[in-house]
């Protein structure tokens, strides 16, 4: 508050000066408007007979001084990632003088007359643009917007050409065709072509007799322009001649274009240190030998665009006449051309939004629902407010970017143009969806303007590159700039013991910056409030706050992750969203400040829109900052990645439908007791979900499984497998075991699960200390829990476990202390391992063992088993078909009582009958097994 009070006289003086300027401007406008009204009426009468004759207007709009600064512009948004901000960008560019504005309005009326005559339904129906429309476009010189006057062009700068594109955007097909012709073919020759190329191509391109297009996209590379396969190799005997081979896909204007700007690979390896010099641009004529053009492709929207595939087969090109720029300069040329394309495309989005707004407002005024007009509903008013706010932001960002293009001879606006395109195309599609909701079912009728616009604008977000790719490129370029400046600092700060003073200074600096955030009013080092109108001081603070947050989050990312930040797309997307909000606030602040200072009509409305946008933008930036500072698992990023990987493994939707779940449950309940095994079918039909700790879990509860087996069919898809409430008697593979009826750990676990690091055996029946000895073979075991087991009540339980498993870190979810390790070593130093076993031997009875753990000696009372009987029992064991039969035969062998059915002897005269019954039972069992096997095969299919 003290800073504001100290500046109060200055603020009042500034405010009075600005109001005086507004008053003078309003008086002059009111006085001049009366004079111009009479002049305009006379000119309208004169021009009634010739509708499209507007040569005088174009003469005024031509700019002879096309560039104000002969240099490269400072990269505004790239520097923002490092906390730097060039305050010159807040000076919003002057678009038109008063005279130019009047003439531009008249030109706009002529263009509206032209677009109103176009039959969009006919173009969609025939998928073709009539020659009459092209003839009118030639008459209006729409093919020569940016071509200089010496080549019979209009010589318009970027701002004026975008204004014309905005007026023509009511017909997206026509505008998209002109976009590719103007900003790819014409602009490449204008900026990088030789004098001979300009004299040869520009006159025909200006008249419309020669239509140009760009051949960049290929089927397999998508947005990765470095992965193209179209090549141009020099001939062996004549290095000036290049042979072009490859296929380009989805070429705009391919049906009618006569000149192709082809992007191809001329070198297999990078030879330049500063940039990638493997790619180049060539001009290819339609009538050259080897050029093959496919039939026109039908698309969802933008019908009539003449979309085709073009194949080049051994096309010979003279590099002295057809090479654009220098050899190997293609990637840099494409980058600069994209700046013009994205900015012009944003202007087209503004034109479509204004048309949609007109249609929607008219609908809201005329339509009545529930005895009240739509405009009186609060939700409709909210939608209209959001449409107005987004349109103002789109228009402000577009003309700010175009002003940068016109102010420098070699502008570099890769980030600014990408941000403008992302914002404009995303908001346009959302606005079109809102307009469709306001229109209701009427809007989805084929041929309705809303329906047509919704289809035509959808491909624009994928034009040049998808918006998600542009977000990553924007953040990547900003992070790369920061990392190059902080490379030494990052190396030192990541080694705190080598540079303790720097570490302490960094901690204190971070605490100071956190305290700065809570200071009211918030100020950063830029003092942006001095560069805007005093009434916009609060939004300027919001902009400073966003710059402060972007610098801190980018710096923390570079220090924390280093080069790995490039692979964290979730992090990069959030940084890009903050940068988009910063550029939007910058454009709207500069425009509103200029409008309010000059006293333009509706300047109060612009100020209100700027306040609203900056308030919402600051809230969004704060939310993104909190997400960046949180850990990934708390945001759900890891969960999203895990689920996406499971979808890839399943090759589609992974969750089982409810009807199939019911069938699986019926199958399990019907055959579980009969099979008694953990089969792949049971695993496939069991529930799968994310548990509370964020692990993907397979639940095998309450299945009474005796043996853990067949887990190979899970293909390592699960982090956790739950065996709660089963009847486990043999452990073959263990990931997670809890509350099972288990009382013994078998030996040799390291042969099956050598990499096991965690075992949870809570609430089981492990009795003695020696029962955990088999776990000593698991050298990578670091975490174990034996809570609620009888063993946990034994004396020196923790010390024995620590001694037996020296690599564990936590026992019963408690960390192993150094003192406990020393105590265990002292206690068991003088005791041998065998003595500890004999003292604490398990009392669990095992058939064939005595009470002392040694094999039980046969006494004279135990009948001896003959060799023949032993062989019969072994044969029966080999032929056993279940685990229960093997255990039963083992007990028979140890007891010495051999049933007669095993030896084949008769007993009580019924031996033959018993054998026949056994054979029948075996046959029945074999049939049941075959039936179960067939059912299992069917379930696998």
pLDDT tens for residues 516-564? 666 655 566 778 888 899 999 999 999 999 999 999 899 888 888 777 7
Clarify whether residues 543 and 637 are in a common domain. Answer: yes
Structural domain containing residue 424: 352-467
More confident site: 770 or 867 = 770
Given a contact cutoff of 8 angstroms between Cβ atoms, the answer to whether 249 and 218 are in contact is yes
Q: Where residue 757 sits, what CATH number does that domain have?
A: 3.80.10.10
Clarify whether residues 444 and 536 are in a common domain. Answer: no
Q: Average pLDDT of 812-817? A: 87
- pLDDT category at 181 given cuts 50, 70, 90 is very high
Clarify whether residues 742 and 696 are in a common domain. Answer: yes
Domain count, the chain: 4
The CA distance from 588 to 540, in Å, is: 10
> What integer pLDDT is reported at residue 143 of this predicted model?
95
Residue 16 counted as domain residue? no
* Each residue's pLDDT tens digit, 268-323: 898 888 888 999 999 999 999 999 999 999 988 899 999 999 999 999 999 999 99
Q: Which of 446-460, 827-841, 886-900 has the lowest mean pLDDT?
A: 827-841
Clarify whether residues 493 and 392 are in a common domain. Answer: no
> What integer pLDDT is reported at residue 855 of this predicted model?
46
Domain boundary among 805, 824, 843: 824
The CA distance from 336 to 212, in Å, is: 18
More confident site: 187 or 914 = 187
Decide if pLDDT at 586 tops 50.
yes
* Each residue's pLDDT tens digit, 64-85: 333 334 456 678 899 999 889 9
- pLDDT category at 254 given cuts 50, 70, 90 is very high
Decide if pLDDT at 608 tops 60.
yes
Residue 555 counted as domain residue? yes
- pLDDT category at 49 given cuts 50, 70, 90 is very low
Q: Where residue 375 sits, what CATH number does that domain have?
A: 1.20.140.10
Clarify whether residues 676 and 801 are in a common domain. Answer: yes
Write out the two tokens for 771: 């029962």
Clarify whether residues 495 and 530 are in a common domain. Answer: yes
More confident site: 438 or 779 = 438
Strands 810-811 and 783-785: parallel
Clarify whether residues 497 and 607 are in a common domain. Answer: yes
Residue 691 counted as domain residue? yes
Q: Average pLDDT of 648-671? A: 64
Q: How much of the chain, in percent, has pLDDT values that exceed 70?
A: 71
Concatenated DSSP letters of 237-297: S-TTEEEEEEEEEEETTTTT-SEEEEEEE--SS---SSS--SEEEEEEETTSTTEEEPPPP
Longest dimension (CA), the chain: 136
Residue 307 counted as domain residue? no
**Number of CB atoms found within 10 A of residue 388's CB:** 18
Q: Average pLDDT of 589-609? A: 92
Clarify whether residues 729 and 773 are in a common domain. Answer: yes
Residue 263 counted as domain residue? no
Clarify whether residues 544 and 581 are in a common domain. Answer: yes
Residue 783 counted as domain residue? yes
Residue 626 counted as domain residue? yes
More confident site: 589 or 750 = 589
Domain boundary among 411, 444, 467: 467
- pLDDT category at 215 given cuts 50, 70, 90 is very high
- pLDDT category at 650 given cuts 50, 70, 90 is confident
Clarify whether residues 478 and 463 are in a common domain. Answer: no
Given a contact cutoff of 8 angstroms between Cβ atoms, the answer to whether 302 and 178 are in contact is no
Domain boundary among 14, 47, 68: 68
Residue 276 counted as domain residue? no
Clarify whether residues 625 and 489 are in a common domain. Answer: yes
Write out the two tokens for 804: 């037996």
759-to-490, 746, 753, 790 alpha-carbon distances in Å:
40, 14, 11, 17
Clarify whether residues 789 and 673 are in a common domain. Answer: yes
């Amino acid at each position: 508050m003290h800073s504001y009070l100290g500046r109060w006289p200055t603020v009042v003086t500034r405010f009075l000066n600005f109001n005086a300027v507004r008053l003078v401007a309003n008086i002059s406008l009111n006085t001049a408007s009366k004079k111009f009204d009479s002049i305009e009426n006379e000119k309208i009468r004169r021009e009634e007979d010739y509708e499209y004759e507007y040569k005088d207007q174009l003469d005024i709009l031509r700019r002879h001084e096309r560039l104000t600064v002969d240099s490269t512009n400072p990269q505004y948004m790239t520097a923002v990632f490092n906390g730097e901000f060039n305050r010159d960008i807040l000076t919003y560019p002057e678009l038109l003088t008063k005279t130019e504005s009047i003439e531009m309005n008249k030109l706009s009326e002529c263009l509206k007359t032209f677009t109103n005559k176009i039959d969009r339904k006919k173009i969609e129906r025939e998928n073709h643009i009539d020659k009459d429309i092209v003839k009118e476009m030639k008459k209006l010189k729409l093919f020569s917007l940016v071509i200089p006057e010496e080549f019979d062009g209009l010589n318009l700068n970027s701002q004026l050409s975008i204004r014309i594109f905005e007026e023509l955007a009511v017909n997206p097909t026509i505008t998209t065709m002109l976009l590719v012709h103007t900003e790819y073919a014409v602009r490449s020759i204008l900026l990088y072509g030789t004098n001979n190329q300009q004299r040869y191509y520009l006159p025909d391109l200006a008249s419309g007799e020669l239509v140009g297009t760009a051949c960049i996209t290929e089927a397999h590379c998508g947005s990765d322009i470095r992965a193209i396969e179209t090549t141009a190799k020099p001939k062996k005997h004549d290095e000036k001649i290049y042979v072009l081979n490859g296929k380009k896909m989805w070429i705009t204007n391919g049906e009618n274009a006569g000149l192709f700007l082809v992007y191809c690979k001329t070198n297999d390896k990078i030879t330049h240190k500063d940039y990638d010099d493997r790619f180049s641009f060539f001009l290819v004529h339609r009538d050259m030998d080897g050029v093959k053009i496919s039939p026109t492709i039908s698309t969802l929207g933008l019908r009539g665009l003449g979309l085709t595939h073009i194949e080049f087969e051994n096309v010979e090109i003279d590099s002295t006449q057809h090479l654009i720029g220098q050899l190997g300069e293609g990637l840099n040329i494409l980058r600069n051309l994209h700046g013009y394309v994205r900015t012009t495309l944003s202007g087209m989005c503004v034109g479509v939004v204004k048309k949609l707004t007109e249609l929607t407002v008219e609908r809201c005024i005329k339509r009545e629902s529930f005895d009240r007009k739509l405009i009186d509903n609060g939700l409709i008013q909210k939608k209209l407010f959001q449409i107005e706010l987004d349109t103002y932001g789109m228009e402000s960002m577009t003309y700010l970017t175009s002003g940068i293009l016109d102010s420098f001879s070699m502008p570099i606006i890769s980030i600014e143009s990408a941000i403008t395109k992302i914002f404009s195309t995303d908001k346009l599609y959302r606005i079109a969806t809102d307009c469709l909701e306001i229109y209701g079912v009427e809007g989805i009728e084929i041929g309705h303007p809303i329906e047509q616009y919704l289809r035509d604008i959808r491909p624009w977000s994928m034009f040049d590159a998808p918006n998600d790719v542009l977000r990553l490129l924007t953040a990547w370029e900003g992070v790369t700039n920061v990392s190059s400046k902080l490379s030494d600092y990052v190396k030192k700060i990541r080694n705190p013991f080598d540079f303790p003073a720097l570490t302490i200074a960094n901690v204190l600096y971070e605490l100071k910056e956190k305290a700065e955030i809570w200071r009211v009013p918030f100020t950063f080092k830029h003092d942006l409030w001095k560069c805007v109108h005093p009434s916009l001081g609060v939004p300027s603070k919001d902009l400073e706050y966003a710059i402060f947050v972007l610098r801190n989050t980018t710096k923390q990312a570079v220090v924390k992750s280093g080069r790995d930040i490039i692979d964290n797309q979730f992090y990069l997307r959030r940084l890009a969203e903050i940068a988009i909000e910063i550029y939007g606030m910058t454009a709207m602040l500069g425009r509103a400040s200029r409008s309010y200072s000059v006293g333009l009509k509706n300047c109060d409305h612009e100020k209100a829109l700027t306040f609203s946008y900056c308030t919402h933008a600051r809230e969004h930036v704060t939310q993104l900052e909190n997400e960046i500072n949180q850990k990934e698992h708390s945001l759900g990023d890891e969960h999203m990645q895990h689920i996406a990987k499971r979808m890839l493994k399943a090759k589609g939707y992974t969750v089982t439908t409810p009807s199939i779940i019911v069938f699986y449950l019926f199958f399990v309940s019907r055959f579980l007791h009969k099979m008694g095994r953990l089969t792949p079918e049971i695993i496939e039909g069991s529930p799968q979900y994310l548990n509370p700790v964020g692990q993907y879990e397979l639940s095998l509860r309450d299945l009474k499984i005796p043996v853990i087996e067949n887990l190979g069919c899970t293909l390592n898809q699960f982090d956790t497998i739950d065996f709660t409430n089963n009847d486990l008697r043999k452990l073959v593979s263990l990931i997670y075991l809890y509350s099972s009826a288990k009382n013994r750990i078998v030996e040799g676990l390291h042969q099956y699960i050598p990499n096991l690091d965690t075992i949870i055996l809570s609430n089981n029946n492990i009795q003695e200390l020696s029962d955990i000895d088999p776990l000593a073979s698991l050298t990578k075991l670091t975490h174990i829990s034996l809570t609620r087991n009888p063993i946990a009540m034994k004396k020196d339980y923790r010390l024995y476990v620590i001694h037996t498993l020296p690599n564990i870190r936590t026992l019963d979810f408690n960390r192993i202390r150094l003192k406990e390790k020393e105590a265990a070593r002292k206690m068991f130093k003088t005791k041998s391992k065998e003595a500890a076993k004999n003292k604490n031997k398990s009392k669990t009875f095992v058939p064939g063992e005595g009470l002392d753990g040694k094999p039980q000696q046969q006494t004279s009372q135990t009948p001896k088993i003959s060799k023949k009987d032993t062989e019969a029992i072994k044969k029966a064991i080999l032929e056993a078909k279940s685990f229960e039969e093997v255990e039963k035969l083992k007990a028979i062998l140890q007891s010495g009582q051999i049933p007669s059915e095993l030896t084949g002897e008769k007993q009580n005269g019924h031996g033959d009958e018993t054998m026949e019954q056994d054979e029948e039972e075996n046959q029945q069992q074999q049939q049941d097994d075959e039936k179960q096997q067939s059912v299992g095969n069917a379930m696998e299919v």
